[in-house]
Structure 1
Amino acid sequence: MNLQQQLAQFPRLDFVGPATPLEKLSRLSDYLGREIYIKRDDVTPMAMGGNKLRKLEFLAADALRQGADTLVTAGAIQSNHVRQTAAVAAKLGLHCVALLENPIATQAENYLTNGNRLLLNLFNVEVQMCDALDDPQRQLADVATRLEAQGFRPYVVPVGGSNALGALGYVQCALEIAEQAREVAFGSVVVASGSAGTHAGLAVGLQQLLPECELIGVTVSRTAQQQLPKVEQIQQELSALLHVGEPASIVLWDDYFAPQYGMPNDEGTAAVQLLAQQEGDFA
């Protein structure tokens, strides 16, 4: 059974549609002296796009299979994941509860009320605030227990949609990359590594499909040493779920996230500016 057939065994809702584009960044490639492409998962269809929609195709399908009427998840006030989960809930006619933290401890009104936080109001999300998501699995379970006592049937979507089931979405993405790579010989794939599901899904998928291609995860909230066990745990659980071989070694770079999530350092800001100035893109 090939990887596509293995994926087909899991219930999945079609939110993403056809393969997202693979675009060459011509000016940035010339500037840096190497060919650079971008996989445009920022243009997925729902709620202004983003990578979490791939995970939610599998997670929301599982929620419906279990008869849930509420999606429960957590993240920062400006979380893209929470925004996309809320959009999926609205699309499916489900209630949505979001447990939010303020990771940068700002009192700036724009951060607290605008952007993704404003969109949660538009999606009619029930927002609950907490001091910190220091144990999100337990905290989400507590929210789910309270909802059950109120008569709801909650389904917990983990932070970032990152567990083995959600990571199947990025095995699917690896299939797309492998198909698109028939015209381009990729030496490396670089991905942001935070809640770890995207990274782990690509690690498992690319190991099977493009084993000669190096996968590099760039941390967004932790040192490489702190991030490694998070990626490896989901990678191992996903490998077992798909019955594939020994997981590949994980490569992580942690030069860009400090001092903390949501507050990039000078190197991270310079990278964002370079892409914007060379390509007119904020991905």
Structure 2
Amino acid sequence: MTSPVDLSRFPRVALGNWPTPLEECRRLTEALGGPRILVKRDDVNGLGVGGNKLRKLEFLLGAALADGADTVVTFGGVQTNHGRQTAAACARLGLHCELVLTRSVPRGGDAYERSGNVALDLLYGARVHLCDDEQATAATYRQVVESATARGRTVATLPVGGSNGVGVLGYVAAAVELRDQLGSVAVDRIVCPAGSSGTVAGLALGTALLGWPVRIDAAAVSPPADGKPADIRRLVHEAAALLRVPPPELDQVRVTDRALGPGYGVPTEQVWEAIRLFGRTEGITLDPVYTGKAGAALIDAVHTRELGRDETVLFLHTGGLPGLFGYAPELIAATHP
């Protein structure tokens, strides 16, 4: 299938291995008693241990390089997957990377602050700035930019999660890739996590441009869940303006908070159940922040029969493996026989 939009006019750098695998999960399907489950493996797309942010970064860093940037600054929580993938991409492209991270999750200790994504951030050469709150984050960001500018550097600032109109283009391209892979296979709905909402917005815009009437069930992983539709709509409008197409209606998108739990980065027993089930039936690793919550939402929809046993569901695996090690004590407790 040919894309109905020409993404080639946007600056882009090659970072991932495309297309990522599309796998049929027969044992998981059997364990749940239906529906048929397929998994799109954006967690195994190569650079920096993989993950969904690489699709966004291809366009974001393409634009940054086109603007002459040599330094990239971005933000996130301590165990941010976006930060880790940005650090890896900057290493590949020879860019300086500054990560301004906020202790936004009520966790501490070495497992959370020194392992997982944080260890990889440092491995890939990023400078990591840990901040206690939003005020400290804003002040640190100003200092980082001022320092870089004083040294004659050109700074590109990327938003949390890489979610803006340019970043959304990554998942417009992914929608085309996915539709091509599916061929004649009919999918009733796509299940994915919703954090900064750029991935959901790209899928929503891409599927609309393809005329593909698939439902998108987005599991909120951060509050407020009822604010996600507005975030998705704003991002769709931004990307549609870049593409010079009318923004579509988003009737096919549903956002649920059924697996959100107490808040961002706080897994529930249902999340650990999803992590165990995916791991023990398919050898697929979910994380406790994003995909674990999307997996828990999928399982709950099956158990409550909101999801029909005769449906075909595509689960978008957005990555996050390194962050699992930031929760090592809970992981061991949840998986110990």
TM-score, with normalisation over the residues of structure 2?
0.78
Aligned to 1:185: 186
CA distance in 2, matches of 1:157, 1:192: 20
Preserved contact between residue 87 and residue 124 of structure 2 (Cα < 8 Å): yes
The answer to whether the 8 A contact 1:221-1:258 is kept is: no
Q: Given residue 125 of structure 1, which amino acid in structure 2 is its aligned partner? A: A
What secondary structure, in the 3-state scheme, does the structure 1 residue paired with 2:101 have?
strand
Partners of 1:279 and 1:216 lie apart in 2 by: 22
Aligned to 1:121: 122
Identify the residue that residue 276 of structure 1 maps to in structure 2: 279
Matches within 5 A, 1:34-53: 34-53=35-54
Deviations 1:223-276 (A, max 9, x none): 431222211111111122112233232310111122111112232222222211
| Alpha-carbon distance in 2 for matches of 1:133, 1:44 | 32
Distance 1:207 1:134 in 2: 39
Aligned to 1:236: 237
Paired amino acid for 2:53: K
How has the CA–CA distance of structure 1 residues 135 and 113 changed in structure 2, closer, same or farther, with 3 Å as cutoff?
closer
1:20 is aligned to 20
* Aligned partner letter, 1:152: R
Is contact 2:4-2:209 (8 Å) kept? no
- SS at the partner of 2:6? helix
1:136–1:173 distance in 2 versus 1, CA, 3 Å: farther
Contact kept in structure 2, 1:16 and 1:53, CA below 8 Å? yes
Q: Which residue of 2 aligns with 1:106?
A: 107
Any conservation in 1 of the 2:189–2:215 contact (CA below 8 Å)? yes
**Structure 2: distance between partners of 1:36 and 1:256:** 19
User: Which sits farther off after the overlay, 189-198 or 99-108?
Assistant: 99-108
Deviation at 1:203, TM superposition (A): 0.5
Cα distance in structure 2, aligned partners of 1:275 and 1:153: 44
Task: Note closer, same or farther for the CA distance 1:226–1:5 as it changes in structure 2 (3 Å cut).
Answer: closer
**More RCO (CA 8 Å, sep 6+):** 2
What does residue 255 of structure 2 align with? 252
Gaps of 5+ in 2: 287-337
Q: Aligned-pair distance for 1:3?
A: 3.8
3-state SS of 2:73 partner: strand
Distance 1:134 1:244 in 2: 38
Aligned to 2:79: 78
Cα distance in 2 for partners of 1:131, 1:137 equals 11
1:145: Cα distance to partner? 4.1
SS of match in other structure, 1:8 = helix
Q: What is the CA distance between 1:219 and its match in structure 2?
A: 0.7
Q: Check conservation: 1:220, 1:257, Cα contact below 8 A.
A: yes
| CA displacement 1:202-221 (0-9 Å, x = unmatched) | 01001122532111111111
Name 2:31's counterpart in structure 1: 31
- Residues 16 and 45 of structure 2 are in contact (CA less than 8 Å); yes or no, is this contact kept in structure 1? yes
Residues 63/151 of structure 1: CA separation in 2 closer, same or farther (3 Å cut): same
Question: Structure 1 residues 233, 56: closer, same or farther in 2, change over 3 A?
Answer: same
Shift, 1:135, TM fit: 10
- 8 Å CA contact 1:74–1:100 kept in 2: the answer is yes
In 1, Cα distance between equivalents of 2:143 and 2:200: 28
Cα deviation for residue 198 of structure 1 reads: 0.6
Distance 2:191 2:98 in 1: 32
Aligned to 1:256, the other structure's residue is in SS state coil
In structure 1, C-alpha distance between the alignment counterparts of 2:97 and 2:263, rounded to whole Å: 28
Cα deviations by residue, 1:169-216 (Å, 9 ceiling, x for unpaired): 000100011111213100001111101111100010011225321111
Distance across 2 between alignment mates of 1:15 and 1:149:
30
Q: CA RMSD in A?
A: 2.0
- In 2, the alpha carbon distance for the partners of 1:73 and 1:178 equals 31
Matched residues in 1 for 2:168 and 2:249: separation?
16
Alignment gaps of 5+ in structure 1: none
- 100-109 vs 88-97, which moves further: 100-109
TM superposition score normalised by structure 1: 0.93
Q: Distance in 2 between matches of 1:109 and 1:165?
A: 35
User: 1:226 and 2:227 equivalent?
Assistant: yes
Q: Distance in 2 between matches of 1:200 and 1:135?
A: 30
